[in-house]
Structures are given as structure tokens and as C-alpha cells.
Amino acid sequence: MDTQLLIDTLSRVIHVATAITLVGGSAFMLLVLMPAAQNLSDEQHDRLRTALTARWKRFVHVGVTLFLISGIYNYYRAIPSHKGDALYHALLGTKMLIALVIFFIAAALVGRSTGLEAIRRKRTLWLKVLLVAALIVVTISGFLKVRGPQPPAEDRVPATQTS
């Protein structure tokens, strides 16, 4: 197998598997764990939250790191195929900015900074924001992947060209 193809495939798998893990874990917390935990006493709830956050924090930190490394690599490999494609660059830039917002929210939810305590107190709201943002990123990614590379605007033949 071609080494470049192997590296490209591995990078893509890491990127997608990380998304599945972090987005899926966040959805599980919002939709399953948090509603079930409402039945716990305050003491039990605090112990669960402390234990869960300590463990989930590792996934978030490693996941963000893997996203950044694989995302930068994937961008580096894809960009030559999209030279002159304004829509691709606009959507990819939007996707990257939204991803940075997601990383911030995820880190704030597992962090200990007193300045971000307000986010942790409204965990349900911020998990919803995170998941909506993740859905937007996945939608943009899916569209760009299906659409594929486009020729530069100057090389395209207009759809309604008249002779």
C-alpha cells in the first residue's frame, strides 16, 4: 500500500473516530446521564459529577489535540485540490471557527477555572449549544466531502451558456 494513502487514511480515521467519541459522549451526557442523575441526592450527584468530569476531561483534552493534529494535516493535504474554490474555503473557515468554539465549550465544561464556573453551572444549556455547533460542523463536513473539489471559477463553463 502507498505510504501517503495509509497516512491520509489514518488521519481521516483519527479525525472521524475522535468526533464520534466526543460528540457521542456529549450527547450521551445530555440525553441519558443528566436526566437519570436528576434522581440522585445532591451528595450523590456531586460525587458522580466530580468522578465523571475527572475521567471525561482526559477524553476532551486528548480529543481536542487529536482533532487539531489530524485537522491541520487533512487541511494541508486537501487544500491543493480546492485552489480557487471560494465556497470550499468559506465553508471550511466557518467550520474551523465553529470547531474552536466547540473546543472552548468542551474545555470550559471539564475545567476548573473560576472564571468559567458560570458555564459549568448551566451545563445543560452549554451541552446543547455544543451539540448544535457539532451538528453544523458535521453538516458542513459532509457537504464538502460529497461536493468534492471544484475547478477554479475561471475554468468553469457557465450552466446557461448561449451560442
Distance CA 118, CA 102 (A): 16
| Residues in CB range of 129: below 8 A, 6 or more apart | 105
pLDDT (tens, 9 = 90+) of the chain, 163 residues, equals 799 999 999 999 999 999 999 999 999 999 999 999 999 999 998 999 999 999 999 999 999 999 999 999 999 999 999 988 999 999 999 999 999 999 999 999 999 999 999 999 999 999 999 999 999 999 999 999 999 888 766 666 666 665 5
- Domain membership of residue 134 as a residue range: 3-149
Helices (H), the chain: 3-28, 34-37, 42-78, 86-110, 117-121, 123-147
As for how many domains the chain has, the answer is 1
Q: Say what the pTM is.
A: 0.86
What is the reported pLDDT for 156? Answer: 62
121-134 per-residue burial string, b: 16 or more CB within 10 A, e: under 16: eebeebbeebbebb
Does 81 fall in a domain?
yes
